[in-house]
């Protein structure tokens, strides 16, 4: 399988920018794994977090840079950034068979957001690996419905900042 | 007091402000308001017969003048008809601005009459595009569009203007300062990269220079020639780069590519250092990249960083404008003596002498296209802007014309747009009225866009079109003969149905015809004497002639097919 990279793309908040980015990925044959868009702290700027499956990332970055509305592209590595995803998952779970599971669910920090006689809906926010582990855990019970957000990421502040060279 | 204008008046005024003198277009419902103030403007509007024609005219204009070409179309079909010229201009990096009408903002999304999602459709066919939603912003958007079209790697920019924006009342003001935080092309090369490149070239034993369309767009031909001489570099030009160094120079090896000269193709394979400037290592040039230039370290200079490392592995990347790169190279090379590299020069000269371009014109045989091109060159003294379509005639024009100057070779390279020649020639002639503009076209190409000859006649743009009539899509037929056992599926057009002389006359042009070798020179001469009307000259040429040399698509550049006998 191709490697999954997380790109953070700072763009001008203008109509059509998402379409331009998506269209560029399609045209160049790059496969988008997930995509999340939202405003930033700065007025007029949005940030797109794009998880892309590709071997050769350099070309993706260069092509993205050619879009007039793209301001900055950063690749986030798991070791230097915080990555999060959110899922909501409805799992088939009749009353009476819930005890053990709820305990495990608690360990992951998932919360029960909807209860019905035949199923429970959980919500969990965490790094992508943790979210996948949780899904593996509940899968045997029977997943009825699942929604997953695009991953979002921000760089960590360096804890051991190197002294500046003079 | 601030001047009140309509959005349409502001649009035309903004074009004037950018120095536009000529536009090519076709009116229609949504763009109508913009056509009214055109009547009061010094801008010359050339009324094309089809929007595709208008688009290619703008392209030909841009190539010939080095300025931004402008075309105008209405919404819906007007805009979709521009898609081909826009895609063509994008891949060949032609600076263009297209203005399209759009249905009123209140009707967008309602499937209104002549509504198409123009910005969506052209997203992949433009460098950038705009939908105007605030009429007051018209001067800013136009200014930005021209800036984007002509700076960095040039390209087409489209402005989609809804009808209510054209009809709105606005206050004219000069455009605001550019605010493009994501668009800052690097033009000046990094000094360290230049130093590395010079060091590598000075230590090279078999170096070469490879020049592309980027040299033409950057106006860097003089600098390129200076550097080729300074560093004594055998020089290959891409199809789009023809004219970037004079073919008369002993250093010039001609065109690269599938139908490039033997010397050009082989130079790549034997070079130890290749300096490529303003080129994109097109698949028609590299063949299978795995076998391309196996011994070479590649220095690649381009204004577009995405081109560097896209196809070939690059030893030294140089991001910068071709003119700035070459000026710096010339300066930094300094007064070091020109390296002689006698062995390499001898080898390269040997290829040129042993494997020249050739063809066999029998006095009583059918006319060969190559002969027509050579005769045209001889009779005009090479003093012409040559425009071509796409196919065999294009390859022969590039091979057999001797290009001495830039901006005098106009064709569709990357997209390979058949039908390009007629409108592009009209655009070139509109931009350079005092120059001889001669299109070398094929009958297949000509039949795609010849209605624009009516435009040329009505607007008194006396272009000359040589139609190489071989009664077929010659290049398609060539491939069918070579790779499909000669099964001619839909490649034969027939050479005796269309009467080009009558057609020319019907369109207000002069029609001439040559069917034998003896008639070639006289009709060319005759065509040159007519300057009050466009001229169409039909040459009935040999349908069996094939373009050689040839490297098979996806093959290795080590295997150059010189003649049909090589395939036997």
Q: Are B456 and B480 within 8 A, CB to CB?
A: no
What is the span of the domain harbouring residue B57?
A: 4-171
Q: Round to whole Å and give the CA distance between B174 and B111.
A: 35
Shared-domain flag, residues A25 and A51: yes
Residues of A in contact with B309 (CB under 8 A): 58-59
| Inside any domain, residue A161 | no
Nearest CA in chain B to A24: B124
B202 is catalytic: no
- The whole-number pLDDT of residue B103 equals 98
Shared-domain flag, residues A26 and A69: yes
| Inside any domain, residue B153 | yes
Backbone angles phi, psi at A75, to 5 degrees: -95, 130
Residues of B in contact with A16 (CB under 8 A): 119, 123, 131
Shared-domain flag, residues A126 and A143: yes
CA angle B278, A75, A45 (to 5 degrees): 90
Q: How far is A20 from chain B (nearest CA, A)?
A: 7
Q: Round to whole Å and give the CA distance between B95 and B62.
A: 7
Q: How far is B361 from chain A (nearest CA, A)?
A: 46
Under 8 Å CB-to-CB from B69, ≥6 apart: which residues?
B24, B57, B58, B59, B60, B61, B62, B89, B94, B95, B96, B97, B427
pLDDT at A96 over 90: no
B114 is catalytic: yes
| Inside any domain, residue B565 | no
Q: Which of residues A57, A80, A103 is at a domain's end?
A: A80
- Long-range contact list for A156-159, CB < 8 A, 24+ apart? A156/A80, A156/A81, A156/A82
Q: Do B182 and A70 touch (CB under 8 A)?
A: yes
- What does the DSSP 8-state code read for residue B453? H
Q: How far is B351 from chain A (nearest CA, A)?
A: 37
| Inside any domain, residue A90 | yes
Q: Round to whole Å and give the CA distance between A48 and A71.
A: 11
> Where residue B501 sits, what CATH number does that domain have?
3.40.50.970
Dump pLDDT digits (tens) for B111-165.
999 999 999 999 999 999 999 999 999 999 999 999 999 999 999 999 999 999 9
Under 8 Å CB-to-CB from A21, ≥6 apart: which residues?
A9, A11, A48, A50, A64, A67, A70
Which of A44, A64, A65, A68 to probe the B interface (max B CBs under 10 A)?
Answer: A68
Give the up-direction half-sphere exposure of residue B97: CA atoms within 13 A in the CB hemisphere.
Answer: 27
pLDDT at A159 over 70: no
Q: Identify which of B128, B148, B182 has the shortest CB distance to residue A71.
A: B182
Backbone angles phi, psi at B511, to 5 degrees: -110, 130
Dump pLDDT digits (tens) for A52-63.
988 888 999 999
pLDDT at B93 over 80: yes
Under 8 Å CB-to-CB from A138, ≥6 apart: which residues?
A89, A91, A101, A105, A122
pLDDT at A97 over 70: yes
pLDDT grade, residue B566 (50/70/90)? confident
Q: Identify which of A27, A59, A62 has the shortest CB distance to residue B124.
A: A27
pLDDT grade, residue B197 (50/70/90)? very high
- The whole-number pLDDT of residue A163 equals 59
Q: How far is B184 from chain A (nearest CA, A)?
A: 9
Under 8 Å CB-to-CB from B418, ≥6 apart: which residues?
B389, B390, B391, B442, B444, B445, B448
Nearest CA in chain B to A27: B124
Handedness of CA A158, A159, A162, A164 (dihedral sign): positive
Shared-domain flag, residues B163 and B196: no
Which of B93, B105, B123 to probe the A interface (max A CBs under 10 A)?
Answer: B123
pLDDT at A1 over 60: no
- The whole-number pLDDT of residue B560 equals 92
What is the span of the domain harbouring residue A19?
A: 4-80
| Inside any domain, residue A110 | yes
Q: Identify which of A11, A58, A68 has the shortest CB distance to residue B148.
A: A68
Which of the following is catalytic: B4, B16, B110, B113?
B113
Q: Which of B249, B474, B248, B517 is nearest to B375 (CA)?
A: B517
Shared-domain flag, residues B163 and B34: yes
| Inside any domain, residue A125 | yes
Q: Are B122 and B86 within 8 A, CB to CB?
A: yes
B292 is catalytic: no
Three-state DSSP at B404 gives: coil
Shared-domain flag, residues B147 and B257: no
Dump pLDDT digits (tens) for B362-390.
999 999 999 999 999 999 999 999 999 99
This prediction has a pTM of 0.96
| Inside any domain, residue B184 | no
Lowest average pLDDT, out of A39-43, A158-162, B43-47, B343-347, goes to A158-162
- The whole-number pLDDT of residue B526 equals 98
Residues of A in contact with B133 (CB under 8 A): 15
Q: Do A67 and B181 touch (CB under 8 A)?
A: no
Q: Which of residues A40, A61, A80 is at a domain's end?
A: A80
Dump pLDDT digits (tens) for B164-176.
999 999 999 999 9
Q: Do B123 and A20 touch (CB under 8 A)?
A: yes
Lowest average pLDDT, out of A18-27, B17-26, B367-376, goes to A18-27
Which of the following is catalytic: B163, B297, B323, B464?
B163
Question: Strand B44-47 relative to strand B22-25: parallel, antiparallel, unpaired?
Answer: parallel
Q: Round to whole Å and give the CA distance between B79 and B120.
A: 11
Q: Do A58 and B309 touch (CB under 8 A)?
A: yes
* Interface ipTM: 0.91
pLDDT grade, residue B462 (50/70/90)? very high
Q: Please give the full DSSP string across B524-565, using - where no structure is assigned.
A: HHHHHH--SS-EEEEEEB-TT----SB--TT--TT--B-SGG
Total structural domains within chain A? 2
Dump pLDDT digits (tens) for B276-310.
999 999 999 998 999 999 999 999 999 999 999 99
pLDDT grade, residue B2 (50/70/90)? confident
Lowest average pLDDT, out of A7-11, A29-33, B325-329, goes to A29-33
- The whole-number pLDDT of residue B444 equals 97
Shared-domain flag, residues A42 and A86: no
Lowest average pLDDT, out of A158-162, B77-81, B299-303, goes to A158-162
Dump pLDDT digits (tens) for B54-78.
999 999 999 999 999 999 999 999 9
Q: Round to whole Å and give the CA distance between B61 and A109.
A: 66
- The whole-number pLDDT of residue A162 equals 62
Q: Are B101 and B161 within 8 A, CB to CB?
A: yes
Shared-domain flag, residues A56 and A88: no
> Where residue B323 sits, what CATH number does that domain have?
3.40.50.1220
| Inside any domain, residue A163 | no
> Where residue A127 sits, what CATH number does that domain have?
3.30.70.1150
Residues of B in contact with A27 (CB under 8 A): 124
pLDDT grade, residue B218 (50/70/90)? very high
- The whole-number pLDDT of residue B311 equals 94
pLDDT at A165 over 80: no
- The whole-number pLDDT of residue B334 equals 83
Three-state DSSP at A156 gives: coil
Shared-domain flag, residues A37 and A101: no
Average pLDDT over residues A154-165: 71
Q: Give the residue carrying structure tokens 């390859």.
A: B395
- The whole-number pLDDT of residue B445 equals 98
Shared-domain flag, residues A88 and A48: no
With an 8 Å Cβ cutoff, the interface of chain A facing chain B consists of 11-12, 15-16, 19-20, 23, 27, 58-59, 62-63, 65-72
């Amino acid at each position: 399988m191709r490697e999954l990279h997380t790109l953070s793309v700072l763009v001008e908040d203008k109509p059509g920018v998402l379409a331009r980015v998506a269209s560029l990925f399609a045209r160049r044959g790059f496969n988008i794994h997930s995509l999340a868009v939202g405003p930033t702290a700065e007025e007029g700027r949005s940030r797109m977090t794009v998880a892309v499956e590709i071997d050769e990332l350099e070309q993706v970055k260069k092509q993205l840079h050619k879009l007039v509305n793209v301001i900055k592209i950063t690749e986030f590595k798991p070791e230097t950034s915080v990555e999060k995803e959110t899922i909501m998952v409805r799992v088939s779970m009749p009353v009476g068979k819930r005890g053990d599971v709820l305990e495990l669910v608690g360990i992951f920090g998932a919360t029960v957001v909807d209860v019905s006689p035949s199923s429970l809906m959980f919500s969990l926010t965490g790094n992508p690996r943790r979210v996948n582990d949780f899904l593996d855990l509940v899968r045997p019970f029977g997943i009825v419905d699942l929604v997953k957000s695009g991953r979002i990421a921000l760089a960590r502040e360096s804890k051991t900042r190197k002294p500046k060279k003079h | 007091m601030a001047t009140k204008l309509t959005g349409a008046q502001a649009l035309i005024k903004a074009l004037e402000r950018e120095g536009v003198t000529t536009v090519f277009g076709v009116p229609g419902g949504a763009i109508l308001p913009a056509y009214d103030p055109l009547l009061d403007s010094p801008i010359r509007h050339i009324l094309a017969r089809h929007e595709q024609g208008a688009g290619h005219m703008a392209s030909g204009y841009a190539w010939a003048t080095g300025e931004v070409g402008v075309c105008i179309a209405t919404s819906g079909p007007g805009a979709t008809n521009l898609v081909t010229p826009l895609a063509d201009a994008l891949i060949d990096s032609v600076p263009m601005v297209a203005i399209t009408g759009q249905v009123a903002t209140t009707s967008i999304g309602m499937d209104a009459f002549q509504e198409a999602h123009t910005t969506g459709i052209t997203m992949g066919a433009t460098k950038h595009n705009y939908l105007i939603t605030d009429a007051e912003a018209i001067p800013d958007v136009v200014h930005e569009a021209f800036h984007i079209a002509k700076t960095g790697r040039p390209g087409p920019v489209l402005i989609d203007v809804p009808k209510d924006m054209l009809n709105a009342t606005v206050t004219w003001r000069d455009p605001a300062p550019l605010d493009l935080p994501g668009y800052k092309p690097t033009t000046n090369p990094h000094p360290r990269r230049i130093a590395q490149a010079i060091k590598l070239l000075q230590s090279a034993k078999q170096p070469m220079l490879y020049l592309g369309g980027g040299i033409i767009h950057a106006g860097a031909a003089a600098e390129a020639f200076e550097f080729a001489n300074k560093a004594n570099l055998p020089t290959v030009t891409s199809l789009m780069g023809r004219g970037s160094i004079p073919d008369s120079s002993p250093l010039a090896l001609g065109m690269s590519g599938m139908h490039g000269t033997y010397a050009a193709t082989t130079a790549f394979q034997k070079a130890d250092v290749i300096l490529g400037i303003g080129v994109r290592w097109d698949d028609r040039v590299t063949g299978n990249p795995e076998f391309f230039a196996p011994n070479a370290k590649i220095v690649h200079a381009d204004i577009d960083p995405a081109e560097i490392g896209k196809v070939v592995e690059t030893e030294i990347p140089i991001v910068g404008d071709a003119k700035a790169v070459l000026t710096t190279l010339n300066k930094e090379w300094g007064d070091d003596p020109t390296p002689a590299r006698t062995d390499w020069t001898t080898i390269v000269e040997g290829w040129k002498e042993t494997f020249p371009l050739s063809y066999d014109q029998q006095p009583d045989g059918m006319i060969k296209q190559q002969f027509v091109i050579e005769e045209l060159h001889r009779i005009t003294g090479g003093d012409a802007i040559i425009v071509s379509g796409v196919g065999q005639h294009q390859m022969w024009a590039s091979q057999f014309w001797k290009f001495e100057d830039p901006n005098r070779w106009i064709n569709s390279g990357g997209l390979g747009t058949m039908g390009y020649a007629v409108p592009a020639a009209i655009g070139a002639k509109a931009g350079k009225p005092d120059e001889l503009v001669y299109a070398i076209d094929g009958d297949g190409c000509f039949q795609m866009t010849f209605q624009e000859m009516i435009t040329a006649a009505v607007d008194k743009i006396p272009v000359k079109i040589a139609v190489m009539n071989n009664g077929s899509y010659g290049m398609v037929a060539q491939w069918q003969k070579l790779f499909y056992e000669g099964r001619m599926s839909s490649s034969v057009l027939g050479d005796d149905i269309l009467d080009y002389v009558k057609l020319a006359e019907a369109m207000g042009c002069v029609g001439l015809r040559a069917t034998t070798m003896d008639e070639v020179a006289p009709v060319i001469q005759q065509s040159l004497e007519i300057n009050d009307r466009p001229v169409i000259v039909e040459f009935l040429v040999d349908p069996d002639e094939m373009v050689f040399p040839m490297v098979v698509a996806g093959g290795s550049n080590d295997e150059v097919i010189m003649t049909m006998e090589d395939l036997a």
